[in-house]
Structure 1
Amino acid sequence: MADPAAADARWPGWAAVPALRRVAFALLLALPLLWQLGGTPLFDVDEGAFSEATREMLASGDWGHTTLNGADRFDKPILIYWLQAASAAAFGFGEFALRLPSALACWAMALALAAFAARRWGERAGLLAGAMTVTSIGWQMIGRGATADGVLNLLLVLATLDAWRFLDTGRKAPLRRAFAWVGLGLLVKGPIALLVPGAAVLVWCAASRRWAPLRLALADLPGWALLLALAAPWYAYALHRHGMAFVEGFLLRHNVERFTGTIGGHAGSSLYYLVVLPLLALPWTPLLAGVLRRWRAAWADPLGRFLLGWSAFVLLFFSFASTKLPHYVLYGYAPLVLLMARALAEGSKRLHRLAAAGLVLGALLVAALPWLVLHFAPAVRDPFYRALLSGVPAPSWQPVAGLSAVLALLLAWKTGAPALRLAGAAGALALFIAGATLPWFGEALQGPVRRAAAAAASHPGTVAQWQVHLPSFAVYLARVSPKRDPLPEDMVLTRADRVPPGEPRARLYEERGVVLLGPRR
């Protein structure tokens, strides 16, 4: 492992940074996550489902269980709904409050990674690790989403870094903290909270041929007691209340079957994450190649071996799982961020130029994406999404021009550390995504759904979702909207291409493939 004292001799150490500078850095890291956080409609399916489950929990007053459109929801444990509900109580029920727990979690994760890197490799590596966290597209997406993954990633990072501190020093305090983070993670998403840090420790012990730390961790009864004290009460309550329905719905379907079978049509080849990871790492993707080139040197170092083992386990485990979703690979992205930050902080001019090229290419891709969508929308096979995307207005050129000017200025400026100018350019790109790209896609995919809910709100009665699954509709309607065949007295939310010819129901609202029908007369 690199000597922290030697690293601090090269750059000012983390402890030497004035408090005001630390605060300014922390606030800057929050900006890409909080900017326009509530300025985009909730995206279906995930954001809509989590948000509607939280709304129904608040409406029912039942804080021990969640439902979605009135049906039991066993997808995730309870903690994320509690956090969203607490945020809604403080800031009002809306997109900002529902996404705030994820944004704050991603912000805390950036600070944790920055502190970890700075204490080992110097201040510059710490600043870069924090900046890479909040500007990588993958983490920006989950950090701005009303789902469980932002909070889960924070807890995975805290648990696994504390596991390393235990392996490195043998102290019990970080081990007990790791058990606590895992206990909270079990309340956010389930067994994955134990699997990732546990596997990282196991891989390191096996590769290092040091089994004593693993035996000590497994035999630490106070740590296991702390984990169970945090997680077991709600699990016991859910099992008592729902019995085998909870076991089958949560443990079997949403955990075991996600690995052994395909859920929701989310399949992919064994190479799926080798394609997805570089996309989620944008605009820092070129640095992944630098980490791969230096993997032998990293593996020879105990900390480098731990970080590589952590990331490799996640990549391999989820590559063999049958259900594949892009954000799964982010469970192993934090160690790569640490290694990329170290490489860039210590890197040559060639590495800086490579990173700059990645930033420019990433910015070009992000800026061009809405026009590419509009160009190819008429060729989309699904008529519903073809209608949604074909009719959306083109985005404005002004934000693109502003982004181009800022990037040109930062990347061409010769004063100051090149690595920090790269971080500033990545921050500008992240603000562009938050303020221009995401709002455009939000209007394209969700604008008609939100306006259909506003139209339905002026009519009494139930709206049945027929041959669509758009849970955000119920959030904006503020009423349960079950997915089922409609009754005669129901209003109906459906797709334009699914409305039968000669349908007698009146069309209360229609826009870009989204149709709201009235009751049968």
Structure 2
Amino acid sequence: METNTLESAKPITVILILALFFGFYFNLGGVPLFDLDEGAFSEATREMLVNGNYLTTYLNGELRFDKPILIYWLQAFSVKGFGLNEFALRLPSALAATVWVVLLYYFVRHFYTHYTAFMAAFMMATSLQVTIIAKAAIADSLLNLFIASSMFLIYLYTVEQKRSRLYAIFALIALGALTKGPVAILVPLAVSFLFLASKKELRLWLKMVFNPIGILLFFLIASPWYILEYLDQGQAFIDGFFFKHNLNRFNTSFEGHSGSLFYYIPVLLVGLLPYTTLLLRSLKDIRSWFSNDLLRFLAIWFLFVFLFFSFSGTKLPHYVIYGYTPLFILMAITISKIKSDKLLLLPPMILFIILFFLPMVISFVQPQVKHPFTRIMLETAPSEFGWEWYLFFASVSAITLWLMRTAKIDRNAKLISIGIIMTISVSWRVIPTYAAIAQIPIKEAALLAKTEHYDAHLWKFNMPSFIVYREKIVKRTKPKAGEVVLTRKNHLDAFEAYTILYEKHGIILARIGDDHTKE
């Protein structure tokens, strides 16, 4: 039974604004870019601005066909306004995620109460994986906006059949195709087909898909860049973008990103924290998902994404997020079915306890780690945690335990509290600490190289964020005597003589001496 404490618009608006702030904007520019993805996207944007080439993207001076152009244009626009920094590069993702959440709220409000719409939007804004991609300088937040908004309109069109909605669907899919390519077409096309086929309304699907004005609108928006890019780069663009970075990702394990058929089960359990209990409870009602048209549409949306990418050769954690939007709605209508607040808050409680003991676990397992660089990095990593880490996670664990036990506040307040606590924990403690270990050394080494005008090499070390902060294309070849190199500490054995210019957490900036390379 739904409570009325969140039925008025004013508290809902205030709380949702707080959730959006802590989930998407708090400490947005406070940590360095993360490699590989953030570094690669950001460097391609930087080179776009330096070269003045807004058609073709390059990474370290080499052609980059990984993604279409839209996210680079938006990042470039942001950098022009705010400068070359982490905030500007991540801002388009945060803004896209904000619109994504707002549209989710209004879509759910069209069919359910203020409360259900608010909880779906709030959970999206404060869930672990959505928070992470919303603060990442990559294309996925923008893509999810276009997929979700096109899917909302597809369902509304099947109900109301307004032409304006249909044209908007084609426009949004076209923008998605400019963001990440064929996947923006695949998900809406497949889900709408399966949904209408299940209702025996394939004539309506054919009417939607083959609308001539909609098709024309799609090509007017999406095709100019694709055509111009093909005219500029020829078959290399077809091979690099369509075959290598799209078709091959499904057929093969691309760049070693493989996994079992069950890969996305733990991703779901962790990625939807702190609301994992609601996920499991909603999955228990999977048969009821097909009890009405809206629930059926949401179920097909999630299940198609989950199954399609489970069978894909390439598996990455963020692929399944394309199916998260319907889950938040299904989870929101499940809240009242949870019998125990203790069970509801158990997953975040477990997470906070694990995080409290994490520095000790790292110290314990470090000697057993076989990978040389990882072992070196973990050896010095505990120094970045400090007493503040223990105090913070002891405090949030105590607060969560109190929320689990108390009857003085209702379930809504508990869910809102744990959502805000989760986003603050991730944005203020977890991500900055990880950045201090893995990425701050890269940034500091790059800024030193920039200040001292070192023409540094990147050798056996693929860290494109170094190029962003150095603001200059670097060599990827073996360094010669007198040259400067950024590499991992375990690779220094390849050199007879060198002078260390910077060292932190196993990351080395060094000048190579004479007779430098072992044969």
Is the shorter-chain TM-score for this pair beyond 0.5, marking a shared fold? Answer: yes
Secondary structure of the residue that 1:125 maps to in structure 2?
helix
Quick one: distance in 2 between partners of 1:464 and 1:443?
Answer: 22
- Match among 481, 501, 517 for residue 474 of structure 2: 481
2:345 is matched with 356
* Matched residue, 1:327: 318
Gaps of 5+ in 1: 1-6
Q: Residue 194 of structure 1: CA displacement? A: 0.6
1:347-384 deviation line (CA, Å, top 9, x unaligned): 14515443222332233334444543443233322211
Query: 3-state SS of the aligned residue for 1:350?
Result: coil
The Cα of 1:444 is off from its aligned counterpart by 0.9
> How many Å apart are 1:487 and its aligned residue?
4.9
User: How many angstroms does 1:416 deviate by?
Assistant: 5.2
* Cα distance, 1:442 vs structure 2: 0.4
* Higher deviation after alignment, 264-273 or 356-365: 356-365
C-alpha spacing 1:175/1:380, structure 2 compared with 1 (3 Å): farther
1:389 alignment counterpart: 378
Query: Secondary structure of 1:500's partner?
Result: helix
Amino acid paired to 1:377: Q
How many Å separate the matches in 1 of 2:353 and 2:95? 28
- Match of residue 258 from structure 1: 249
Who is 1:134 aligned against?
125
Q: Where does residue 3 of structure 1 map in the other structure?
A: none
Q: Which amino acid aligns with 1:96?
A: F
* C-alpha distance in structure 2 between counterparts of 1:12 and 1:226, whole Å: 44
Structure 2 equivalent of residue 424 of structure 1: 417
Partner of 2:113: 122
Structure 1 residue 40 and structure 2 residue 31: aligned?
yes
> Quick one: percent identity of the two aligned structures?
35
Cα distance in 1 for residues equivalent to 2:287 and 2:29: 44
Give the alignment's Cα RMSD to 1 decimal: 2.2
Residue 157 of structure 2: aligned partner: 166
Residue type at the aligned position of 1:424: S
Q: Cα distance, 1:23 vs. partner? A: 5.5
Further displaced range: 495-504 or 214-223:
495-504
Instruction: Tell me by how many angstroms 1:502 deviates.
Output: 4.8
User: Do the aligned residues in 2 keep the contact of 1:87 with 1:100 (CA within 8 Å)?
Assistant: yes
Asked if the contact 1:179–1:224 (Cα under 8 Å) also holds between the matched residues in 2, the reply is yes
- Report if aligned partners of 2:278, 2:338 keep a CA contact under 8 Å in 1: no
Are residue 68 (structure 1) and residue 59 (structure 2) matched? Answer: yes
Aligned partner letter, 2:284: R
Tell me the TM-score normalized by structure 1. Answer: 0.92
Measured after TM superposition, the shift of residue 414 of structure 1 is 3.8
Which of 483, 488, 493 is matched with 2:486 structurally? 493
1:399-454, Cα deviation, whole Å (9 max, x unpaired): 22442354355555545541242122211111111001100000111122112112
Q: What CA deviation, in whole Å up to 9, does each residue of 1:148-168 have, x standing for no partner?
A: 111111111111111111112
Report the equivalent of 2:282. Answer: 291
- Tell me the residue number matched to 1:512: 505
- Give 2:263's aligned residue: 272
Contact 2:177 2:222 in 1 (8 A): yes
8 Å CA contact 1:363–1:429 kept in 2: the answer is no
CA separation of 1:171 and 1:352: change in aligned 2, threshold 3 A:
farther
Alignment of 1:336-351 (within 5 A): 336-344=327-335, 347-348=336-337, 350=339
Q: What corresponds to 1:193 in structure 2?
A: 184
Q: 1:359 to 1:513 in 2, by over 3 A?
A: closer
One-letter code aligned to 1:445: A
Letter of the structure 1 residue corresponding to residue 209 of structure 2:
L
Aligned match of 2:364 in 364, 375, 399?
375
Match of 1:446 among 413, 419, 439: 439
- In the other structure, the counterpart of 2:517 is none
- 1:28-59 Cα distance to aligned partner (Å, 9 max, x none): 32322111111111111111111111111111
State whether residues 249 and 313 of structure 2, in contact with CA within 8 Å, keep that contact through their aligned partners in structure 1.
yes
Say which SS state the counterpart of residue 170 (structure 2) adopts: helix
Contact 2:352 2:393 in 1 (8 A): no
Moved more, 403-412 or 152-161: 403-412
1:17 aligns with 2:9: yes
What does 1:72-221 align with in structure 2 at a 5 Å threshold?
72-221=63-212
Cα pair distance change 1:117/1:410, threshold 3 Å: farther
Q: Distance in 1 between matches of 2:99 and 2:399?
A: 27
C-alpha distance in structure 2 between counterparts of 1:482 and 1:262, whole Å: 28
For 1:492, give the aligned amino acid: V
Q: Once structures 1 and 2 are overlaid, which stretch shifts more, 506-515 or 206-215?
A: 506-515
Q: Is contact 1:26–1:111 with CA below 8 Å preserved after alignment?
A: no
User: d(CA) in 1 for partners of 2:167 and 2:4?
Assistant: 32
**How many Å apart are 1:212 and its aligned residue?**
2.2
Q: Which has the larger displacement, 211-220 or 303-312?
A: 211-220
Q: In structure 2, what is the Cα distance between the partners aligned to 1:359 and 1:289?
A: 14
Task: Report the more deviating stretch, 371-380 or 125-134.
Answer: 371-380
Aligned residue for 1:304?
A: 295
For the residue of structure 1 that corresponds to 2:315, the secondary structure is coil
User: Could you say what secondary structure the match of 1:426 adopts?
Assistant: helix
Distance change >3 Å, CA 439–CA 237, structure 1 → 2: same
Structure 2 residue identity aligned to 1:466: W
Question: What whole-Å deviation, never above 9, does each CA across 1:459-500 have from its counterpart, x for those lacking one?
Answer: 335222111101111111111123333355642211121123
Distance 1:451 1:461, change over 3 A: closer
Larger mean CA deviation between 391-400 and 408-417 belongs to: 408-417
Aligned-partner Cα distance in 2 for 1:208–1:487:
68
TM-score w.r.t. length of structure 2:
0.92
In structure 2, relative to structure 1, the CA distance for the partners of 1:13 and 1:390 (3 Å cut) is closer
Post-superposition offset of 1:328: 0.6
Amino acid at match of 2:19: L
Q: Residue 484 of structure 2 contacts residue 512 of structure 2 at CA under 8 Å; is this kept in 1?
A: yes
Aligned-partner Cα distance in 2 for 1:516–1:161:
50
